[in-house]
Structures are given as C-alpha cells and as structure tokens.
C-alpha cells in the first residue's frame, strides 16, 4: 500500500500483517552501489508511516493497517517530530503540537475517542559489524537519547573511533527530538535497539538518557517518568548489551530559574533506578554546571540566550569527552 505524509509518499507492504510477525520492509532493499541506500523495516504487525525527522523519512506504528496522522501543527506545518497513528477506520484529530486522538468511524459517533499511538523512528543505520561503516571491526556503541545526544554523538564517535575503542551510532536514526520523552521511549525502545531494517542486534555498549522532554513539574509527571524509565531500562537490559551506561540529563536552566526543578528531580529518580539495576551513570549535568556555574542565565557554551538546552562551541565536545572517559571505565559485566 502507499502511505502519504505531508506531500511524501512512502512504500509500505500489504494491508495485512505478517502471520509470523516477521519484519516488513517499508522501503525497497538497497541496490548495489556506492550510495548504499538503507532499507527501513518495521515489525510484522506494524504499519509503515511517514516520519519527518526520521533520516529515512519512515517510521513504524504498532498497529496493523493503521491510519497515519499527518502530524501537522501550527509551529511545524509540515509535520511533527513525533507523528501519531490511529487504528484502522479511525480519523486522526490533532489536540496538541505533538499529540492526536482517534475518532471512531460511523455509526459509532457517540463512542469515546481513543488516544493515538506515537510512530517510532527507526534505530541505527548500520549493523555492528558493517564492513564499510566499521572497517576496523570496533565494538559497537549506540547512544539512545534526544536532540542533545544527537548533538554530542558525532564528537563522541570521533573520540572513540580515534582511540580505537568503539564504533558509535545514534539511536534513533533521526534529527529533531530523537528518542523524545519516556512515553515515546517506552513505546519505541524495541525499534531503538534494532537497526533501521528491523534486524535484532546485540550491541557491545548502550548509552542512554531521557529527561529533557519530561519537563512537567508535577507529581503525576514524576511518577510517569519513573515508571516509563524503569520499563525502558529493563527492555535495554533484556537485549543483553555487554555494557550499559546512563547519562544524567543536562540542565534546563531557564526552567530551573523559573522554579521548575523537573530535570533535577528526575535525575535523582534516574540515579536511584540505575543503582538498583547495577548500571553506572555519568553526570553530564555536573559537566555543564562545573563550567557554567550551579545557577546561571547565560554561558558561553549555550546555543541560546538565556540558556536553554542546546549547546555550541566547546559545549558538545565537552559532553563527549565526559562520556568517553565514562565508557572507558565500563566493564563487560553482562557477557
């Protein structure tokens, strides 16, 4: 079938799910040649939907024969970082910048709408032993996280390739908000741990973080963050990477100065969750505050004024250096 998204048409498979749950390809297998276009796949009971910030422009909805919501919003008229999808026969209705509900088909006009699912961005592009991307056959490392981790991953990749210790990729394979919030992370961690063609992998090292998309300063939000992060962590451990590292969330100092301490609270929650599971942490929050101060408005590494969450200049290299040191301290405790 053909799925349209904000003017983009992507190729899906048949309208019925695979009976054995095998992966279905959303884009054709790559043909031989130097460009090496990537194949994007989804689980057999999923639907291929367009995804603006996926580097392949395709994502996976965990529903068979789903309706792919167009994701349009007032601030992103060509689509959202987190596109939504609805069950077959339903109609998408936007209720916020990143969210939709699904109205049931007639004649059930009085039935309650159901919440839309988030479409998952595919995982890393290359398999750990890809001979072209990883010619040195280095141990593999994936970084699961949001746009800040997308920012420092190229620097981390250069450092760890340079010292001959790791082949590094970001997961999901995307721009924009990356893995986004913990709700999206819990829904999509299965994709994040597989390559973009939906092939299962065993990574040597998984570094992950969630926090800058979970900024609601309320007890209910804190409880959801703890539950979701626990589920994400357990799913990562179930994939049996040899090493796991959690990166504490960097400051959102504008919020802190306004009395919103969600980042600080959730970092405490994350630290406790990781300690209970024997997972070490690297304190990227402290990396930033050691440079900028415990409380600040502006700082030379901030991309915006007043500071928010993105970095410039030596900001991302500074974070990458802290991660490089932490990765070197990891032991292969999960053989």
Q: What is the pLDDT of residue 124?
A: 95
**Position 50 pLDDT exceeds 90:** no
| Residue 52 confidence class, pLDDT cut points 50, 70, 90 | confident
| pLDDT at 32 > cutoff 90 | no
pLDDT surpasses 60 at 202: yes
- Distance, in Å, from the CA atom of 104 to the CA atom of 91, rounded to the nearest integer, reads 7
Q: What is the pLDDT of residue 281?
A: 97
Query: pLDDT of 269-314, one tens digit each?
Result: 999 999 999 999 999 999 999 999 999 999 999 999 999 999 999 9
Instruction: Tell me the pLDDT band of 10, cut-offs 50, 70 and 90.
Output: very low
Q: Which residue has the tokens 């995307």?
A: 174
Mean of the pLDDT values across residues 211-215?
93
Identify the pLDDT of residue 29: 61
Who wins on pLDDT, 174 or 89? 89
Give the pLDDT band (50/70/90) at residue 6.
very low
Burial class (CB in 10 A: 0-12, 13-18, 19+), 26: buried
- Of the pLDDT bands very low, low, confident and very high (cuts 50, 70, 90), residue 18 is very low
Task: State the average pLDDT over residues 116-140.
Answer: 93
Mean pLDDT of 125-144: 95
- Judge contact between 304 and 254, C-beta under 8 A: no
On whether the pTM is more than 0.75, the answer is yes
Phi and psi based region of residue 180 (left: phi greater than 0; alpha: psi -120 to 50; beta: remaining): left
Q: What is the dihedral of CA 84, 88, 93, 98, to 10 degrees?
A: -10
pLDDT of residue 78: 45
Model pLDDT, residue 11:
29
pLDDT tens-digit map of 142-195 = 999 999 999 999 999 999 999 999 999 999 988 788 898 999 999 999 999 999
Q: What percent of the chain has pLDDT over 90?
A: 66
For the chain, domains (ranges, CATH) are: 1-120 (no CATH), 140-328 (3.40.50.1110)
CB atoms within 10 A of CB 196: 26
Inter-CA distances, 33 with 61, 124, 230, Å? 30, 20, 42
């Amino acid at each position: 079938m053909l799925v349209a998204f904000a003017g983009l048409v992507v190729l899906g498979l048949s309208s019925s799910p695979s009976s054995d749950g095998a992966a279905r390809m959303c884009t054709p297998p790559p043909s031989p040649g130097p460009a090496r276009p990537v194949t994007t796949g989804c689980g057999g009971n999923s639907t291929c939907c367009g995804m603006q910030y996926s580097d392949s422009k395709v994502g996976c909805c965990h529903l068979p024969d789903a309706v792919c919501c167009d994701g349009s919003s007032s601030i992103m008229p060509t689509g959202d970082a987190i596109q939504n999808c609805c069950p077959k026969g339903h109609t998408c209705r936007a209720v916020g910048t990143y969210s939709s509900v699904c109205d049931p088909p007639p004649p059930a006009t009085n039935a309650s709408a159901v919440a839309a699912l988030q479409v998952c961005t595919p995982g890393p592009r290359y398999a750990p032993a890809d001979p072209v991307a990883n010619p040195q056959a280095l141990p593999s490392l994936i970084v699961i996280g949001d746009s800040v981790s997308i920012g420092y991953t190229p620097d981390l990749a250069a450092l760890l390739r340079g010292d001959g210790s790791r082949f590094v990729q970001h997961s999901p394979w995307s721009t924009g908000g990356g893995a986004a919030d913990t709700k999206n992370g819990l829904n999509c961690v299965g994709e994040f741990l597989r390559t973009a063609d939906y092939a299962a992998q065993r990574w040597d090292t998984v570094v992950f973080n969630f926090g800058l998309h979970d900024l609601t300063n309320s007890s209910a939000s804190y409880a959801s963050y703890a539950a979701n992060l626990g589920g994400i962590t357990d799913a990562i451990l179930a994939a049996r990477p040899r090493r796991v590292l959690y990166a504490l969330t960097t400051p959102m100092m504008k919020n802190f100065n306004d009395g919103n301490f969600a980042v600080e609270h959730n970092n405490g929650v994350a630290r406790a969750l990781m300690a209970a599971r024997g997972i070490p942490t690297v304190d990227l929050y402290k990396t930033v505050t050691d440079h900028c101060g415990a409380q600040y408005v502006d700082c030379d590494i901030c991309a915006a004024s007043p500071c928010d969450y993105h970095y410039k200049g030596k900001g991302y290299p500074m974070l990458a250096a802290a991660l490089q040191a932490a990765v070197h301290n990891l032991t292969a405790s999960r053989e």
